[in-house]
A and B are shown apart, each in its own frame.
Chain A
Amino acid sequence: MESQGQVVIQWELGLHIRPATLIAQLLQRYNARVSLIKNGVAYNAKSVLQMLTIEAHQSDIIEIQANGNDAEEALCALKKFFLEYDDTPYW
């Protein structure tokens, strides 16, 4: 099964270590292979190291591609994360 989607980076700091870590953690639950695609290059969304090298700023659009038996669920969870995760530090 293959599922695709699109998300927008809302966080002021872009896709930096905090969201990248939470994405990797979130995807541990799923079997699907999930890639974040930016400018045609795919990055493994289960690897913090790879995600950190995506140059993704606030307002940038990222494509998501998921392959596997639970691809749809993984995609859904990831989309929800991009929409809801609040990266503003609490001060």
Chain B
Amino acid sequence: MGIPVSSGIAIGPALVLSSGPYPIPQYHIAQDIVESEQARYLAAVQHAIAELAKIESDTQTLRDISIIFMGHRFIIEDTGMQEEILAKISQDLVNAEYALNDVMRKHRNKFQALHSKYHQERVSDLEDVENRILKHLLGQTDRGRENWDQPAVLVARDLSPSQTAILPQAKILAFLTDIGGKTSHTAIVARTRGIPAIVGLGSVTSQIINGDLVIVDGKRGIVIIAPDKPTLEKYERQKIQEQIRRQKLQELVHLPVETLDGHKITLRANIEDSSEVLLAMANGAEGIGLYRTEFIYLHNPDPDEEAHFEAYRTALQYLGGKKLIIRTLDLGADKDFGLDDFQGEKNPFLGCRSIRLCFEKINIFKKQLRAILRASLLGRVEIMFPMISSLEEVLRAKAILEETKQELTKANIGFDPRLRVGIMVEIPSAAITADLLAKEVAFFSIGTNDLIQYSLAVDRINPRVASFYKPAHPAIFRLIKQTIDAAYENNIKVSMCGEMSSEFVIPLMGLGLRDFSVTSSIISEVKELIRSVTMREARQISAHILTCSTHEQTIEYLAQVKKT
């Protein structure tokens, strides 16, 4: 078993890459050839730089990889390092290969001293640079160019960035390496290109020989060498199914989110950082339904207005006119980023968190509000207050927002006066009084994780009571229905941004929800569910679920419906 870093199944012959460092010749040179030895070294450096520049331009479209080679080029061009090596040749009267190796070893040892779990990758960048110059000094050819007459599973101790770049990508079925982790270069390249990969297998290079038939299960991290016929057939079937599934999900990205009978549904993404917007869009998100702004506080308990503004501006820039719903600070003792001392709280989930904390720390709250207001001119922004339990809190939060608007107006700073304000419905009292709250806001967003936790009084992180955490509990469906109905009656929008949106999307549509926000990675899966039913069927399913008396009954019924 190794570390699965890129999922997928591959079946094919193994190609074991020769590894290990180049043998390094070591000898003394006479004083009178120092200059020619230095010139020989500089020539090799020039070749290495030219070669790197070529790889950089060849990999232009794969920017992640291209940058790495630019980095290698910068390292070689580093004048400090060159001077060290040239000095070593002239002072110790040694050959260029040895001088290079000696200097680079000193730099590598600096890395080894680092405690970072990434130091291996950094060392391998340096080894890569050294090997490239050595190759030119020794007049060798590249490794990894051998024997590629057919697609193969590549087996190596580790793959350097250089190796992965010169490998014929179309012929690689999978990667298997002895060392490495989830963040190693091989892992990143494999995921980027959708090639199954398992790293950290220990001694896979000594267990597999060239031409062995191997099965790679990149999802589970399993390698099977020389499989028997039934195993092989099993995996071949699995591989085909997987391909079909992957293709289907990929095709879904560009298909509209609608039911079989053409009812349109909106699918947005939940994000924690503005950089995630790109991934969300690539997965087909219609905007951001929940921007959890806590990340901005992660490194600084009191970020300034500009830090907020920059984050929102970046997100809006990536969104290109699509909607961004920003949730104001939702911190509490469960995710305490040093904002406050929560030590004294015995019941953090019932304590001073989220909007309650903002009421206590008006200045911190206002900085965020000012930034959101300013950002409202740059795109489609909406603001959402979390942890609302009663009407007073809605009014109070809105009053603070009004005050902030007036301050901006006084200071002659622009904002969109029509900025829409909504609330999270995640506390049972809010769901039950949704009809009262609806009069004061433009939209509801149902947050199911907290709604379930507060309704059932279960902390799902606590393993002893986790089995009591039941999303399909009849109380939850009733609260959701009540919230949706209140929104419709008062003509305001309602959406859902909790985890329930994925598994239960069909009955939730049946209850009237048309707007969901989920993690980017499952957008296609949710879309597939939506596209598999008619609205009429969804309504029938939700009508039946409302008659179920237990979570188990509902789950069983849904499983049954799915099969037919």
Partner-B contacts on A (CB < 8 A): 8, 10, 12-14, 16-18, 20-22, 24-25, 47-49, 52-53, 55, 57, 59, 61, 83-84, 86, 88-91
Cβ-neighbour of A48 out of B74, B298, B300 (below 8 A): B74
Interface residues of B in 110-124 (CB under 8 A from A): 110-111, 114-116, 118, 121-122
Chain B proximity of A49: nearest CB distance (Å): 5
Instruction: Encode B268-286 as 1/0 by CB contact (under 8 A) with A.
Output: 0000010100110010000
Closest to A13 in B: B183
Closest to B307 in A: A83
Asked whether any CB of chain A lies closer than 8 Å to the CB of B391, the reply is no
Chain A proximity of B133: nearest CB distance (Å): 14
Instruction: Using A17-B67, A90-B278 as known contacts, list a sample of 19 further A-B pairs with CB atoms less than 8 Å apart, ordered by residue number in A.
Output: A8-B299, A10-B273, A12-B183, A13-B183, A17-B71, A17-B72, A17-B122, A24-B74, A47-B74, A47-B78, A47-B80, A49-B75, A52-B126, A55-B114, A55-B116, A84-B310, A86-B275, A91-B192, A91-B194
Query: By the criterion CB–CB under 8 Å, are B71 and A89 in contact?
Result: no
Residues from chain A with Cβ under 8 Å of B64 in the complex: 18, 89-90
CA distance A79 to B420 in the complex (A): 32
Chain A proximity of B380: nearest CB distance (Å): 21
Query: By the criterion CB–CB under 8 Å, are B107 and A49 in contact?
Result: yes
Asked whether any CB of chain A lies closer than 8 Å to the CB of B188, the reply is yes
Asked whether any CB of chain A lies closer than 8 Å to the CB of B253, the reply is no
Query: By the criterion CB–CB under 8 Å, are B299 and A88 in contact?
Result: no
Asked whether any CB of chain A lies closer than 8 Å to the CB of B401, the reply is no
- Assuming the contacts A48-B78, A49-B75, asked whether A17 and B310 have C-beta atoms less than 8 A apart, the reply is no
Chain B proximity of A56: nearest CB distance (Å): 8
Query: By the criterion CB–CB under 8 Å, are B298 and A25 in contact?
Result: no
CA distance A49 to B80 in the complex (A): 10
Query: By the criterion CB–CB under 8 Å, are B279 and A88 in contact?
Result: yes
Residues from chain B with Cβ under 8 Å of A89 in the complex: 64, 188, 191-192
Query: By the criterion CB–CB under 8 Å, are A20 and B299 in contact?
Result: no
Asked whether any CB of chain A lies closer than 8 Å to the CB of B68, the reply is yes
| Number of residues from B at the complex interface, CB < 8 A | 38
Cβ-neighbour of B275 out of A20, A21, A47, A88 (below 8 A): A88
Cβ-neighbour of B78 out of A12, A49, A53, A91 (below 8 A): A49
Residues from chain B with Cβ under 8 Å of A10 in the complex: 273, 275
Closest to B187 in A: A89
Cβ-neighbour of A14 out of B81, B118, B273, B300 (below 8 A): B118
CA distance A10 to B111 in the complex (A): 21
CA distance A22 to B395 in the complex (A): 48
Closest to A14 in B: B118
Interface residues of B in 449-473 (CB under 8 A from A): none
Residues from chain A with Cβ under 8 Å of B273 in the complex: 10
Cβ-neighbour of B110 out of A18, A53, A59, A86 (below 8 A): A53
Contact sample, A vs B, 28 pairs, CB 8 Å cutoff? A8-B300, A13-B118, A13-B121, A13-B183, A16-B122, A17-B67, A17-B71, A21-B70, A24-B71, A25-B70, A47-B74, A47-B80, A49-B74, A49-B78, A52-B122, A53-B110, A55-B115, A55-B116, A57-B116, A83-B314, A86-B275, A86-B278, A88-B279, A89-B64, A89-B188, A89-B192, A90-B192, A91-B194
- Assuming the contacts A59-B298, A91-B191, asked whether A17 and B68 have C-beta atoms less than 8 A apart, the reply is yes
Query: By the criterion CB–CB under 8 Å, are B67 and A48 in contact?
Result: no
Chain A proximity of B505: nearest CB distance (Å): 25
CA distance A13 to B121 in the complex (A): 10
Residues from chain B with Cβ under 8 Å of A88 in the complex: 275, 279
Cβ-neighbour of A83 out of B188, B300, B310 (below 8 A): B310
Residues from chain A with Cβ under 8 Å of B191 in the complex: 89, 91
CA distance A48 to B70 in the complex (A): 10
Query: By the criterion CB–CB under 8 Å, are A21 and B71 in contact?
Result: yes
Asked whether any CB of chain A lies closer than 8 Å to the CB of B426, the reply is no
Interface residues of B in 92-111 (CB under 8 A from A): 107, 110-111
Asked whether any CB of chain A lies closer than 8 Å to the CB of B37, the reply is no
CA distance A79 to B470 in the complex (A): 46
CA distance A88 to B192 in the complex (A): 10
Interface residues of B in 42-85 (CB under 8 A from A): 64, 67-68, 70-72, 74-75, 78, 80-81
Residues from chain B with Cβ under 8 Å of A18 in the complex: 64, 67-68, 71
Query: By the criterion CB–CB under 8 Å, are B282 and A90 in contact?
Result: yes
Residues from chain A with Cβ under 8 Å of B114 in the complex: 53, 55
Residues from chain A with Cβ under 8 Å of B278 in the complex: 86, 90
Interface residues of B in 348-391 (CB under 8 A from A): none
